Amino acid sequence: MKQLLLDIAPPPAPTLDNFVPGRNGELVIALYALASGASRERFIYLWGAAGSGASHLLRAALDAARSNGRRTAWCDVEAADFDVADDMFCAVDDVHRLGAEAQIAMFSLHNRIRAGTGALIASGDAPPAQLRLRADLVTRLASGLVYQVHGLNDDEKSAALRRHAEARGFRLSQEIADYVLRHARRDMPSLLALLDALDRYSLETKRAITVPLLRELLEATSKTK
């Protein structure tokens, strides 16, 4: 059990492949295209509520761009370090938290990328027009593709869990899916990691996947935190 708990501690690294799209299919396709250089657009802005998956998508897009041989940069809003080359694939998360000086730096970054050959993806907690940022920066953020990131509802999460279980070769009952959604961390990477651990634990203990087995795993996990 100890080794199993270590296995489920970190969720998998975010990729576009392990993001469950739900109603965000068009957005995921746009990010694939941008990361591969197949898109005419070079700027994408995402917005959504906390936990919707915007941060996952930004990191996943950088991963995809690196896989395609592009140089990438994660620009931290706290450090306000936007001094990157104009041919890089850049990501800026939580732009609504940018301070006055950081807004100026990001405005310059956007202009530099536009004059060069790079790409920029950014995210915030509201559509551009509702951000309390400099008007010229808001205009820049709205100049490319703008997408709302829709979080998965419980029915979509449940369906995604059942599909993932089927891919691993076992059937996940609705009762177990409901229990997972009520008692585990609700972001999809953590949910899928838990499901993988539950499958391994079932095989190792030669016990069927049931609510009691899941409860045992969750209780043991909570004791290690």
Q: Range(s) for CATH 1.10.8.60 in the chain?
A: 2-13+152-223
The CATH classification number of 25-148 equals 3.40.50.300
> What is the model's pTM?
0.80
Q: CB–CB of 31/57 below 8 Å?
A: yes
Lowest mean pLDDT among 3-12, 46-55, 66-75, 102-111: 3-12
Q: What is the pLDDT of residue 86?
A: 95
Query: How high does pLDDT run on average in the chain?
Result: 90
Q: How far is CA 156 from the centre of its chain?
A: 16
Query: Does residue 223 or residue 138 have the better pLDDT?
Result: 138
Q: Which residues pair with 73 in a beta bridge?
A: 90
The CATH classification number of 2-13+152-223 equals 1.10.8.60
Q: What is the pLDDT of residue 112?
A: 95
Position 25 pLDDT exceeds 60: yes
82-139, pLDDT tens digit by residue?
889 999 999 999 999 999 999 999 999 999 999 999 999 999 999 999 999 999 999 9
Q: Which helix (H) or strand (E) holds 223?
A: helix 211-223
Give Cα separations from 166 to 6, 144, 159, 206 (angstroms): 24, 38, 11, 18
Position 5 pLDDT exceeds 60: no
- Full strand arrangement of the beta sheet holding 89-92: 72-75, 89-92, 119-124, 43-47, 145-148
User: Percentage of the chain surpassing pLDDT 90?
Assistant: 68
Q: What is the pLDDT of residue 23?
A: 93
Q: What is the pLDDT of residue 72?
A: 97
Q: Range(s) for CATH 3.40.50.300 in the chain?
A: 25-148
6 falls in which pLDDT band (50, 70, 90)?
A: very low
State both tokens at 106. Answer: 């990001």
